[in-house]
Amino acid sequence: MNVVAKANGGIALVDLDEQGVDRAFRADVLAGLRQMPKAVPARWFYDDIGSALFEDITRLGEYYPTRAETAILGANGAQFAEAVGPGRAVVEFGSGSSVKTPLLLRAIAPAAYVPLDIAGDFLRAAAAELAEKFPDLPVHPVEADFMREVALPAAIDRLPKLGFFPGSTIGNLVPRTAVDLLRTMRQTLGAGSKLLIGMDLVKDRNTLVAAYDDAAGVTAAFNLNLAQRINRELGGTIPIDALRHLACWNDDLARIEMHLEATRDIAFDVSGERFAMAAGETIHTENSHKFTRRSANTLLLAGGWTPERRWLDPAKQFSLILARATEFRTAP
């Protein structure tokens, strides 16, 4: 594990190989391309280019989750303050939204802010922007893969923690992995912590598909950037012009799926290994699970969190849930 101090006081916890490539990225891509059907974990969308493209997605008319979640945060500040209490260190699992994160920080009077993200440049830029908006708030960016337990800065050791995981990013994970992440978050944050998490809701198919296949093609560019990142960082030769973005609703599993579909037979190399795809074959790049109240509560409980409060936007498209770290018990 490479631990690197940054000039702005942040730290990086990234396991790089001798070529400067994240070992986990290489391993996940190669493993995913070897399997059938092919798949790559969605977390690898978020290099600096992908993170910037996602910020563009959040401004699209079709992409309702950001507007809905922002509306919840803007309308319920006093309730958040009451439920969370002052003086907590807010640990955000992600670089931080230029809109949503300030709404939360203004509402709850935190003692520190710690964003965790694997996209280092984007993380530090977002942290610097937040530090300008909140000059009296200690900001400690940590470049790390939060899918693993993260050692938080010593400066917040004695502070109670509030995890913040907006955007329904938890829905990008299959249930088994989502439970693993929630348990890892509990380990990172520790006993007595709370978690404020965004969870998108089941709704009509047309609204869902449009949110992940916008008319301007921004989501398509975001999806294709994953293949371009593989080419950039892993010596890939994937023919980008032979791939197209595909989004569809899987009703049985209550999720939107994104794929990169080959429009013709192709062969390519990644890290010196040869792969092939037939026309119509896909690389499954993302799931976005949607939740009901019961399925959201079940997932949180399985991950070691007990739901306490739930907020919805006026259109009831999106939910924010506050949960507390469940105390370990040997019996109900």
pLDDT greater than 60 at residue 1 = no
Model confidence band, residue 14 (pLDDT cutoffs 50, 70, 90): low
Residue 20 is encoded by which pair of tokens? 């400067």
What is the pLDDT at residue 13? 57
Q: What counts of helices (H) and strands (E) characterise the chain?
A: 10, 15
Segments in 44-99 forming alpha helices (H): 48-57, 64-75, 77-84
Top mean pLDDT of 8-12, 114-118, 119-123 is at: 114-118
What is the pLDDT at residue 299? 98
For 25-51, give one letter per residue: b (16+ CB within 10 A) or e: bbebbbebbeeeebbbbbbbbbbebbb
Residue 301 is encoded by which pair of tokens? 């409980």
Burial class of residue 9 in the structure, from the number of CB atoms within 10 Å of its CB (0-12 exposed, 13-18 middle, 19+ buried): middle
Nearest of 208, 228, 195, 192 to residue 50 by alpha carbon: 228
Taking only the tens place, the pLDDT of each residue in 58-103 is: 999 999 999 999 999 999 999 999 999 999 999 999 876 778 999 9
Burial class of residue 235 in the structure, from the number of CB atoms within 10 Å of its CB (0-12 exposed, 13-18 middle, 19+ buried): middle
Phi-psi region at 304: left, alpha or beta (left = phi > 0; alpha = psi -120 to 50):
left
CA dist 150 to 22, 29, 123, 264, Å?
A: 16, 23, 16, 42
CATH number of 64-204+292-325: 3.40.50.150
| 256 in Cβ contact with 248 (< 8 Å) | yes
Taking only the tens place, the pLDDT of each residue in 122-145 is: 889 889 999 999 999 999 999 998
Q: For residues 260 and 223, what is the distance between their CA atoms, to the nearest angstrom? A: 7
The dihedral through the CA atoms of 226, 228, 121, 57 has a sign that is negative
Longest dimension (CA), the chain: 58
Pairing of the two strands 318-325 and 11-14: unpaired
Taking only the tens place, the pLDDT of each residue in 271-288 is: 999 999 999 999 999 999
pLDDT greater than 50 at residue 22 = yes
Pairing of the two strands 142-144 and 112-117: parallel
pTM of the model: 0.87
Backbone angles phi, psi at 5, to 5 degrees: -80, 140
Model confidence band, residue 2 (pLDDT cutoffs 50, 70, 90): very low
Percent of the chain with pLDDT strictly greater than 90: 83
Taking only the tens place, the pLDDT of each residue in 289-328 is: 999 999 999 999 999 999 999 999 999 999 999 999 998 8
Task: Give the residue extent of every domain in the chain.
Answer: 64-204+292-325
Residue 113 is encoded by which pair of tokens? 């802010």
